[in-house]
Amino acid sequence: MPKVFGIKLLPLILATLAFYLVGFLWYGVLFMDVWMAAAGHTEADFEGSSPGWMAVGVLISLLTVIGIGKVLQWANVQSIGDAVQKTLLVWAAFGLTMALYGLAYTPAHSIDLFLIDASHLLVGWLLAAIILAAMK
Provide the 3-class DSSP secondary structure of residue 108.
coil
- The predicted-structure confidence for 15-43, as pLDDT tens digits, reads as follows 999 999 999 999 999 999 999 898 888 88
Q: Which residues contact 64 (CB under 8 A, 6 or more apart)?
A: 19, 124, 125, 128
Task: For residues 22 and 61, give the distance between their C-alpha atoms in angstroms, rounded to a whole number.
Answer: 10
Question: Which class for 39: exposed (0-12), middle (13-18), buried (19 or more C-beta within 10 A)?
Answer: middle
Q: Check whether 87 has a pLDDT greater than 90.
A: yes
- The predicted-structure confidence for 6-15, as pLDDT tens digits, reads as follows 999 999 999 9
Q: What is the pLDDT of residue 50?
A: 80
CB 123 within 8 A of CB 87: no
Q: What are phi and psi of 4, to 5 degrees?
A: -125, 120
Reported in sequence order, the residue ranges of the chain that DSSP labels E, i.e. its strands, are 3-4, 7-8
Question: Which class for 124: exposed (0-12), middle (13-18), buried (19 or more C-beta within 10 A)?
Answer: buried
Q: What is the pLDDT of residue 41?
A: 82
Query: Residue 123: enclosing H or E segment and its boundaries?
Result: helix 111-134
Provide the 3-class DSSP secondary structure of residue 47.
coil
pTM: 0.92
Torsion-angle region of 76 (φ positive above 0: left; ψ -120 to 50: alpha; else: beta): left
